[in-house]
Amino acid sequence: MKTWTLLLVGILLGGCINEDLLNPMADSQPRVQSYGASEFYEDGIAMREPPAGTVPRERVVLQPALSTGKSTGPTGETYLTTFPLKVDRELVELGRKRFDITCATCHGPVGDGDSIVARQMALRPPPSLHNYANRPVGYFYEVITRGFGLMASYAPELDVRERWAVVAYVRALQISQATPLDRLPADQRERVRTMGDDQPAVAPATVGGVPGSRQEGP
């Protein structure tokens, strides 16, 4: 009986222990606000410059076309008209996943600008991406990276490959919504007819052959 009493008391006491006594960092951690002041550094500035010669682990270096969507020539910088990495079904499927999560909320599932969110935006609703089918792929990459108008940058949410994947999927959407039914393979044509007459769809042959793509690796 004495053993059980001691065990019960130990359990109760254990549940009442103040963790701050054992680990002061458990409850609060010292931190500073961005652009805030600091008493630790001599210049009084909390935000610090990265050590010279270092870059963030996630940053793509020595491949400016891949990371910026532009190339430099005699006339200056121009948007890439071809993808700087291999475009295949895997990349397009990744783009579809990221587009549905990140972009479709405003631009709509098929990129036509028709969404519940867009209908509530009176100031400047998101445009249909199909109106920009003639823009080079580098243009779309830059918009995703830097933002445009009321659209914020999505660089924090999408890494470099994911951004290009979204661009590839946008191209696939633009193809699908502008492809006449009679240009699809016969089996796909029948499949689309069961979904609704005269509704364009992505032809399997075009998913891995997005205009402006190149099939070799980066």
Is 181 contained in some domain?
Answer: yes
78 inside domain: yes
Residue 71 lies in a domain: yes
In a domain? residue 134 = yes
pTM of the model: 0.63
Which CATH number fits the domain that encloses residue 110?
Answer: 1.10.760.10
| Distance of alpha carbon 7 from alpha carbon 93, whole angstroms | 57
For residue 216, what pLDDT is reported?
Answer: 35
158 touches 166 (CB < 8 A): yes
Please name the residue that has the structure tokens 């109760």.
12
**Structural domain contains residue 12:** no
Q: Is residue 50 situated within a structural domain? A: no
Cβ contact 37:138 at 8 Å: no
How many domains, in total, are found in the chain? Answer: 1
Please indicate, yes or no, if residue 117 is contained in any of the structural domains: yes
Q: Which residues span the domain enclosing 83?
A: 64-185
- The whole-number mean pLDDT for each consecutive block of 10 residues of the chain, a chain of 218 residues, reads 57 53 61 80 84 71 84 88 94 96 92 88 87 95 92 91 96 86 80 60 41 38
Q: Is 135 part of a structural domain of the chain?
A: yes
pLDDT score for 168: 97
**Given this model, what pLDDT does residue 73 score?**
81
The pLDDT score that the predictor gives to residue 5 is 62
